[in-house]
Structure 1
Amino acid sequence: MPTAPVILRPGAKRRLLDASPSAAEPWYVNDHTLIRGHDDRWHAFGIWHPEPADPLGEDRFLHASADDLTGAPWTVHDPVLHARGEIGETHVWAPHVIAHDGRYWMFYAGGTADHTAYRMTLATSEDLFTWTPHEPVLFEDGFDARDPMVIRHGQRWYMYYTRTSAPDGGAHQVAVRSSTDLLTWSEPSVAYESTIFGTYGGPTESSFVVRAGQGWILFVCESAEYDRTLAYFSTDPLRFGDSGLLDVDLDEHCAEIVADPAGGGRTWITGGGWDRGGLTIRPLEILPDVREEELV
């Protein structure tokens, strides 16, 4: 029997966290990541900056933590990983954190004056509070290569990120590189290519890949419509196409997919962005499409 496609069923959305210092001083949280630490608390990291939007001035990451994802208050800690002006970084974007080998690994983009050669950067931590940047940077790519997301499949790690088909602009792509040690990465291949050409923005931002039954789903942010995330299904985690577009309305910007084994095994989708008052969250069911099974 062929692999059945999937249905995505989002639930009701609510506020997850507002990290503004006060109502009179609003700050936004853009591209972000959530991870449950060894301290049994959830930790959030993300682009953090006072309103209004200033993407090239985003020079630090929010760090906040809470006991759970279902209503516990969040504690905002000191920001982490400020842009390092001494090495030419002018801003830092889109952290993604995983746990491996007793440490936490944060992958993020380090922006410089050269948009054709953005730096994909790594920092590690033992406790999610103190981070040590890895030297040298992992690799450079353009245009504005950013939004890394890392998963493990088989014996290899895969990093998905946003770029264009040429460093100075072209078709918007989700590129993917592989590694066995999280430090040395292969040359890129193309996991998804849009028909839209450009430099800034584009319809392949904030890529996120998850397992779905016998297949995979790629989530991307459609920046032309700010609060819109698209989802593509494929049986190959290294290749997605427009024919796999799923019929679902996800009005999130910079969406992350979060699994919570301690919370009844539920899966959540989060969102944020400029002028959005922090982060939102809602449940997201990923179900087999039984209508397709009945047609087989």
Structure 2
Amino acid sequence: MPAQDESTLEGVTLRPGTKRRLLDASPSAAEPWYINDHTLIQDQGGRWHVFGIWHPEPADPLGEDRFLHASADALTGAPWTIHDPVLPARPEIGETHVWAPHVIRHDGLYRMFYAGGTADHTAYRMTLATSEDLFAWTVQEPVLFEDGFDARDPMVIRDGTRWLLYYTRTSTPAGGFHQVAVRTSEDLLTWSPPQVAYESAVAGTYGGPTESPFVVRVGEGWLLFVCESGEYDRTFAYFSTDPLCFVDAGRIDVDLDEHCAEIVQDGPRTWITGGGWGRGGVTIRPLEILEGDPA
């Protein structure tokens, strides 16, 4: 694809830049490991941390039982240190795999939201763990809620006094139209029943075009990024003035060839990252998100 593409809708312009490798956490070239759904956060001291699904190649989604933890002094241009993995699956409670961490910091605590998978795909567990230092984590009980099919990929953002938690699921726990659901909370612990933030015309169970939802605020509007797993390296972006409702008419025609994309703010710069099976770790590139007519 071209090094730079551009698309505008409703006065919002997306300009992705040139992609490069951010992190390969494989033990060696002869022993490749992939990093799938991931999250990046800067700690209070300015150091960057990455957490993500981490597993030896080839792909084994139901065997993904730990999260990578790596850190660096700067988001780009600094070496990454690989730390001990965190939050392994807990088979003693029926948890067979863990997916898609998302970390925020609030009230002096780091909070990781992630999906705990079990043999029952209709009732995956949305789980919260907390930490003071990003190294030692405590899983909070009970789980936040259960949903299906394979409800997963949580992402949390603040909207005024409320918190919004987006995740992917299907229209019924046993399968159906692929959706991005959203729940609201005042305290990050008690969450409302789900609302449908976006529904695809595609139905099924595994995969689907609503994976890895990520929402950012743009002026008075909102952008929803979702991964189209059918094409794997493809992320769509939708614009809306309502963070609880995105529709196909708001889709921005821009070529984002990332899987499990995350939008990362580092000072004045915005980045988009990607990963996935067989992708050699995490990639990164600039992403300009502009309001109004582009210069």
Query: Does 1:222 find its partner at 2:225?
Result: no
| Cα distance, 1:213 vs structure 2 | 1.8
C-alpha separation in 2, matches of 1:66 and 1:55: 27
Query: 2:167 corresponds to which letter in structure 1?
Result: Y
**Corresponding position of 2:284:** 281
Q: Tell me whether 1:271 sits opposite 2:264 in the alignment.
A: no
**Alignment partners' CA distance in 2, 1:83 and 1:116:** 18
Aligned residues: 287
The residue number in structure 2 matching 1:96 is 102
| Alpha-carbon distance in structure 2 between the residues aligned to 1:218 and 1:4 | 14
Q: What's the counterpart of residue 148 of structure 1?
A: 154
Give the AA of the match of 2:100: A
Residue 39 of structure 1: how far off its partner (Å)? 2.6
1:256-288: CA deviation from partner (whole Å, max 9, x where unpaired): 000012xxx100000000000000000000012
> Quick one: distance in 2 between partners of 1:212 and 1:234?
10
Instruction: Measure the CA separation in 1 of the matches of 2:219 and 2:286.
Output: 18
2:77 counterpart SS class: coil
Amino acid at match of 1:268: W
Instruction: Please tell me whether residue 128 in structure 1 is matched to residue 131 in structure 2.
Output: no
Distance 2:85 2:22 in 1: 18
Alignment of 1:239 with 2:242, yes or no, is no
Question: Retained in 2: the 8 A contact 1:94–1:108?
Answer: yes
Deviations 1:23-51 (A, max 9, x none): 00000000000000113100000000000
Partner Cα distance (2:35, 2:116) in 1: 17
User: Partners in 1 of 2:74 and 2:235 — Cα distance?
Assistant: 25
Cross-structure match for 1:46: 52
Higher mean C-alpha deviation, range 282-291 or range 85-94: 282-291
Q: Report the counterpart of residue 6 of structure 2 in structure 1.
A: none
Deviation at 1:289, TM superposition (A): 4.1
**Mapping of 1:37-186 within 5 angstroms?**
37-186=43-192
- How far residue 290 of structure 1 moved from its aligned partner, in angstroms, is 1.2
Please list every run of 5 or more consecutive structure 2 residues that lacks an aligned counterpart in the other structure.
1-8
Q: Match of 1:194?
A: 200
One-letter code of the match for 2:288? E
What does the per-residue CA deviation read over 1:24-82, in whole Å, with 9 as the maximum and x for residues that have no partner?
00000000000001131000000000000000000000000001112100000000000
1:290 to 2:293 alignment: yes
In the alignment, the residues of structure 1 paired with residue 82 and residue 27 of structure 2 have an alpha-carbon distance, to the nearest angstrom, of 9
C-alpha distance in structure 2 between counterparts of 1:229 and 1:219, whole Å = 6
SS of the residue 1:248 aligns to: strand
**Residue type of the alignment partner of 1:209:** V
The alpha carbon displacement at 1:5 in A equals 2.7
Q: Give TM-score scaled by structure 1 length.
A: 0.96
Q: 2:30 aligns with which of 17, 24, 28?
A: 24
Q: Is the 8 A contact 1:5 1:233 kept in 2?
A: no
Deviates more, 1:280-289 or 1:214-223: 280-289
Distance 1:128 1:256 in 2: 19
CA RMSD of aligned residues (A): 1.2
Q: Distance in 1 between matches of 2:76 and 2:276?
A: 21
Deviation string 1:122-148 (CA, Å, 9 cap, x unpaired) is: 000000000000001000000000000
